[in-house]
Structure 1
């Protein structure tokens, strides 16, 4: 350090500290954006489920049952039905409508 100025070493150390600080900020922002993206995807999936229907297969003497896509009484690993397929399913004599989510109300629209 000559003439009372800041040495190149000190300048580079300060720069490295600032860059590390900025990198931490950017990584934190990336985490925030990832969380937001995941939340938005879950919201899209919920909205899609609410506009769909699903069929609970017949089990243990219980009839097959038509549910709204978002009904929590039956978690389906299979795909959803569209409105037309749900209307056809509900017309079948061996498929009943769920008494909780009342999927037929969504079909009348």
Structure 2
């Protein structure tokens, strides 16, 4: 927390006779990154394209060369076994990919 505050403080240039800006903090019941997750517009799971590429080496329709390169790079970190997609962890532990509804 101290590092985050120091970083924020370094972003402001203050003069002696101005009002000082304040920073408001709010406690969240879940991690902040979970608040930014949006549902896919097409209704597919977040890992659908990765799984399809790992299983069939197929790209999404209309994918650009950059999208294809990114998908290949992402797919290296995943493993498919028995139709279940696993994410390889840095210490080779396999983490099962599930959607938010299945996790609840």
TM interval, short-chain normalised: under 0.3
TM, length-normalised to structure 1: 0.22
TM, length-normalised to structure 2: 0.23
Between Structure 1 and Structure 2, the one with more helix by share is 1
